[in-house]
């Protein structure tokens, strides 16, 4: 038991240092990305034609010390016929590091035809990075690379995105931050770089019958210095109330998703990921909880039929 605990702790430290001091850091990972779209693509703001508030909590690799924990809160709404506005707060914790993102979204929508819209979006804000080396198990307390080298740094965010959609399908391309930022300790030995992440999303809703819809969806995440991340999911919407589905993350995890439309205003969601990598034997999986509340559900006398 003691050996297993030591192995878990050792893996935790290795994973954290590899993730933090690599040339490129990956943004936070989500399984329910289809409900958390404004965080990665500002063009989505206002596209649901309602005032929408979304919250998400993710605990990754539960049981592994220092594993990632992510919380997001977003709000967005249409402002007139073509303009959408929104805002996001995101906090991501990994071992001794924590990042907080605060941003605002603006979107402008142009009709392509009677059924299709194209939205262009911009995101602006800031994020703060904090690294507390006192949270690490330090083998050599006199190591100059960690002595008095705690990091507290704030940097700007500028992001852009495009979103093409109808009531049946959508595709999007975005980057939440086009700026590259270098983070240093007081020593030139330690360095981390925040690289630009590019996201591509897509999905289609099939009406199997009046009480059953099927939606496959995908997300691609690209960043310099890291492998391509590919997420594929498939969800069924039953009686406009229950959502059940499965997900697959290339060479990383498989998962299950469930959701319940409590009322026209309130939706709850949950996802579980099982890690398929070697780290999977040292943790009990990842848990993700989602809640969405929409203040107005009827637009022009009709309830929005969209499944995204």
Walking along the chain (308 residues) 10 residues at a time, the average pLDDT comes out as: 45 43 61 92 96 96 91 96 96 91 97 96 94 70 62 91 96 93 56 81 96 96 90 96 96 96 95 92 94 74 57
Q: In sequence order, what are the beta bridge partners of 205?
A: none
pLDDT score recorded for residue 50: 93
Contact 215, 188 (CB under 8 A): no
d(CA 218, CA 196): 20
d(CA 29, CA 69): 10
N-terminal to C-terminal alpha carbon distance within the chain = 45
pLDDT score recorded for residue 212: 96
pLDDT score recorded for residue 103: 97
Which residue has 């700007």 as its token pair?
156
CA quadruple 231, 232, 237, 243: dihedral positive or negative? negative
Contact 87, 67 (CB under 8 A): no
Q: Of the candidates 2, 32, 4, 17, which has an alpha carbon nearest to the alpha carbon of residue 290?
A: 32
3-class SS of residue 274 = strand
d(CA 161, CA 172): 7
- 230-254 pLDDT, tens digit per residue, is 999 999 999 999 999 999 999 999 9
pLDDT score recorded for residue 302: 45
d(CA 80, CA 77): 9
In 251-295, alpha helices (H): none
pLDDT score recorded for residue 303: 44
d(CA 184, CA 208): 54
- 154-184 pLDDT, tens digit per residue, is 999 999 999 999 999 999 999 999 987 766 5
């Amino acid at each position: 038991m003691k050996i297993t605990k030591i192995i878990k702790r050792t893996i935790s430290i290795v994973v954290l240092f590899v993730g933090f001091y690599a040339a490129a850091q990956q943004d936070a990972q989500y399984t329910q990305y289809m409900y958390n779209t404004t965080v990665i693509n500002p063009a989505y703001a206002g596209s649901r034609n309602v005032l929408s508030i979304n919250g998400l909590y993710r605990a990754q690799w539960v049981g592994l010390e220092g594993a990632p924990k992510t919380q997001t809160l977003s709000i967005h709404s249409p402002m007139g016929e073509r303009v959408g506005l929104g805002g996001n707060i995101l906090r991501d914790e990994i071992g001794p590091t924590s990042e907080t993102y605060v941003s605002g979204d603006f979107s402008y929508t142009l009709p392509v035809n009677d059924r299709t819209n194209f939205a262009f979006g911009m995101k602006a804000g800031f994020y703060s990075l904090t690294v507390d080396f006192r949270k690490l198990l330090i083998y050599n307390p006199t190591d100059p690379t960690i002595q008095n080298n705690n990091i507290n740094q704030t940097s700007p965010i500028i992001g852009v995105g495009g979103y093409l959609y109808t009531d049946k399908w959508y595709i999007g391309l975005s980057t939440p931050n086009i700026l590259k930022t270098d983070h240093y300790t007081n020593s030139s030995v330690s360095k981390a770089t925040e690289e630009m992440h590019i996201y591509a999303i897509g999905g289609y809703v099939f009406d199997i019958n009046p009480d059953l819809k099927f939606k496959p969806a995908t997300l691609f995440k690209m960043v310099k210095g890291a492998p391509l991340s590919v997420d594929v999911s498939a969800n069924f919407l039953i009686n406009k109330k229950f959502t059940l589905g499965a997900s697959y993350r290339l060479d990383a995890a498989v998962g299950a998703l469930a959701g319940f439309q409590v009322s026209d205003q309130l939706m709850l969601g949950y996802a579980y990921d099982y890690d398929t990598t070697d780290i999977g034997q040292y943790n009990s999986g990842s848990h993700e909880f989602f809640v969405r509340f929409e203040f107005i559900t009827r637009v022009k006398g009709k309830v929005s039929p969209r499944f995204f």
